[in-house]
Amino acid sequence: MTRMETSLKTLEIDLQSMEVRLSDMEEKINSIDTKLTQVVDAILGNPLTKTGGFIKDIETLKAKIESLEKSQKDQDDFKKKVSWTVGIIMGLGIIIQYILNIYTAVKK
């Protein structure tokens, strides 16, 4: 074998090795791409399957929280109204009782 033949054989072996590494890297890239697509679908949702992902879940939770906050505010307002009503009725009762006491004392 000449030196040229040896170089060609070495070059051919290197090329075969590079092809194997290239196909391995292509498989790994495809695997990473698939996993990345799954992660993006989980976060943003998938338009094909009509799933909303985490973003949709967060928006749903925000809407529910806003609804609960509004309900809580309505209940607080109702409690304030009831408290004021009870306070006014008690105040009127005390004033009426005071006036009745004075009236009965004057009438005797």
Residues 6+ apart with CB under 8 A from 42: 53, 54
Quote the tokens at residue 49: 């399957």
Amino acid at the residue 85: T
CA–CA gap between residue 36 and residue 50 (Å, rounded): 18
Q: What is the mean pLDDT of each run of 10 residues along the chain (108 residues)?
A: 82 92 96 91 75 81 96 96 96 96 89
Alpha helices in the chain (DSSP H): 3-44, 53-107
What pLDDT is recorded for position 1? Answer: 63
Report pLDDT for 77.
Answer: 96
